[in-house]
Amino acid sequence: MSENQITQEELTLLIEQTYKVENEFNELKNSYAHLQDTVERVVEFLPNAIWILNENGEVFLQNSKARELWRLYDLMELRDDDYELNLDDRSYIVKSSRHKDKQMFSCTDITDQKRKENLATMGQMAAHLSHEIRNPIGSISLLSSTLKKRVIPENIPIVEEIQKSIFKIERIIKATLMFSKGIKIGKKKFNFLTLKEDLLEDCGNYGYSKEISFKMPEDDFSIDGDFDLLEILFSNFLFNAIDAIELDDNEEGWIELEYAYEDNMHKFNIYDSGLPIENEKELFEAFKSTKVKGNGLGLVLSAQIAQAHGGKVQLLESDKKGFAIHIA
């Protein structure tokens, strides 16, 4: 046998080594595939948008959230420090990290967080202003009552208009302070007709120039709740209806309050003939009003009051424009 010839034993050993190397390679390949799959699953599981780039700036890996926000990626700057981006009225914080030849970018939606921070700031400012305004408004209210007793009859309507304006300002102050401090209820049984009487008086104090008819339940029933808070809740909807009718082209209008007791719940539907609602998505957002002269707190407080009573308020999907008010 020449020196260059391979023995059967050596050939067998070589084949065994080849199979061993092939098996190790396949195991390594499977392990890498498993690792890659795990990484992709982790990236996909993350709630924020993730892009991983190669050293040449091409996307090596991204999750579905990143694919949804592809327009945001076009706006991004490939830099190392954190910064904010805005897209479609949403705010995002962009963060980056490097590892060897890869660079990762993450975009997190911080819109709700910023909105809460802004609401907290606005609430504090509004509460401070309301405290400052409350004392002089109280003095003006007292003086207007005294003035009404002393002026000539022809000037009484002028004083009454002043009092209506004061009434509106006092409601704004009360709503602002309530929003900043939170809703606290004290339940006590009362009759609806007593609430109805006060609501109609509130509408008179609120004031309106058109001929508006009010239709409310005639039968009496008892409610276990906070009378003052529920008066605020219902009057908010009534005043919104009045404002919508005042802005309408018709010289007359109507407001209707329906009632039913179902599933251990007081269920009210309130309708009006006024202008239709615009920007329905902003209806229950604080400091965002769908009305020209609104302060953006009425419906927010109404929703909070209803929730504090185990109920809810919501926009009705019907032929008539209206809201549902549920109280437990």
Domain boundaries, position 155:
113-182
Joined together, the tokens standing for residue 308 give: 């504090």
On whether the pTM is more than 0.85, the answer is no
Q: Based on the domain organization, do 191 and 322 belong to the same domain?
A: yes
**Mean pLDDT calculated for residue range 318-323:** 85
Residue with tokens 């910023």: 114
- DSSP letters, 97-151, are EEETTEEEEEEEE-HHHHHHHHHHHHHHHHHHHHHHHHHHHHHHHHHHHHHHHHS
Start-to-end CA distance of the chain, whole Å, equals 103
Residue 81: inside a domain, yes or no? Answer: yes
- Count of domains observed in the chain: 3
Residue 328: inside a domain, yes or no? Answer: yes
**Mean pLDDT calculated for residue range 298-306:** 84
Predicted pLDDT at 324? 93
pLDDT at 64 over 70: yes
Residue where a domain terminates, one of 57, 89, 112: 112
Joined together, the tokens standing for residue 278 give: 């615009």
Joined together, the tokens standing for residue 53 give: 């780039």
> Residues 203-220: pLDDT tens digits?
988 878 899 999 999 999
Q: Based on the domain organization, do 250 and 161 belong to the same domain?
A: no
Cβ-based neighbours of 207, under 8 Å, separated by 6 or more: 161, 164
**How far, in Å, CA of 9 to CA of 12, rounded?**
5
Work out the mean pLDDT of the chain and round it to a whole number: 81
pLDDT at 288 over 60: no
Q: Based on the domain organization, do 188 and 228 belong to the same domain?
A: yes
Q: Based on the domain organization, do 325 and 198 belong to the same domain?
A: yes
Highest mean pLDDT among 147-151, 218-222, 279-283: 218-222
